Amino acid sequence: MDGVLLIDKPAGMSSHDVVAAVRRALGGLKTGHAGTLDPFATGLLVVLLGRATKSQRAFMALPKRYETVAQLGALSSTGDPEGEITVTGRVPERPPVLPVGEIRQRPPRHSAVKVGGQRAYRRARRGEDFELPERTVTIHSFRELWRNEGPGGQPPRAAYEIECSSGTYVRSLIADLGDGYCLELRRTAIGDFRVEEASALPPRGRAWEDPPVIGLARALERAGGTSPQ
């Protein structure tokens, strides 16, 4: 079985967890994925099957689209709800200045980027002192969808839609607006693949008899890549 499965990742699972669940449901078939989603995030995960794993780079390079709900006026040590929260009351201006085009961005310390052969989030959890290098990413579009007051008179929340290049960290984009962090994050597209096409994972322990696989040739056509040798 060679091709891709589009999975709508639930919150609370890592991308590795999803890949492992698909592998079990398909009887140990070789699997991989084309772009990590944080455990708190939901949405589209492209799972690669069989020979499609050899074309991971083509799928990884595709642009991404996200929708995020941000808590403004507060900071998180991880950029998401799982970190240590500090309420500051400082809120980005409105209309917000939203970056578009090529920008320099530093990945979050709590990310899957490797530093010295280890995942940054593991070193951060151990309290190690390190700094991640900046990278150049491209923001194709960045727009505010809504903003309203938080519950109980708390600082406001805002929703944004972001289209960006591979390697962009939405948590860093929100943190760089001023004081804010991601409450919710959902990936809605990877290149031509849409979350509306995605399937839920089968129940744990149940074999996936007829998974909705997109064949390798068709998947690569949609990704603009070439077939592995």
SS (H, E, C) 74-140: EEECCCCCCCCEEECCCCCCCCCCCCCEEEEECCCCCCCCEECCEEHHHHHHCCCCCCCCCEEEEEE
CATH number of 3-62+192-223: 3.30.2350.10
Q: Are strands 42-49 and 180-190 parallel, antiparallel or unpaired?
A: parallel
Q: What is the pLDDT of residue 40?
A: 94
Q: What is the pLDDT of residue 7?
A: 97
Q: Where are the domains of the chain?
A: 3-62+192-223, 64-189
Could you read off the pLDDT of 34-44 as tens digits, one per residue?
A: 988 999 999 99
Q: What is the pLDDT of residue 21?
A: 95
Q: Pick from 139, 173, 176: which is nearest to 65 by CA?
A: 139
Give Cα separations from 6 to 86, 133, 190 (angstroms).
36, 32, 10
Q: Which CATH number fits domain 64-189: 3.30.365.10, 3.30.499.10, 3.30.300.130, 3.30.2350.10?
A: 3.30.2350.10
Active site residues: 38
Residues of the chain with pLDDT under 50: 229
Q: What is the pLDDT of residue 229?
A: 45
Could you read off the pLDDT of 187-206 as tens digits, one per residue?
A: 999 999 999 999 999 888 78
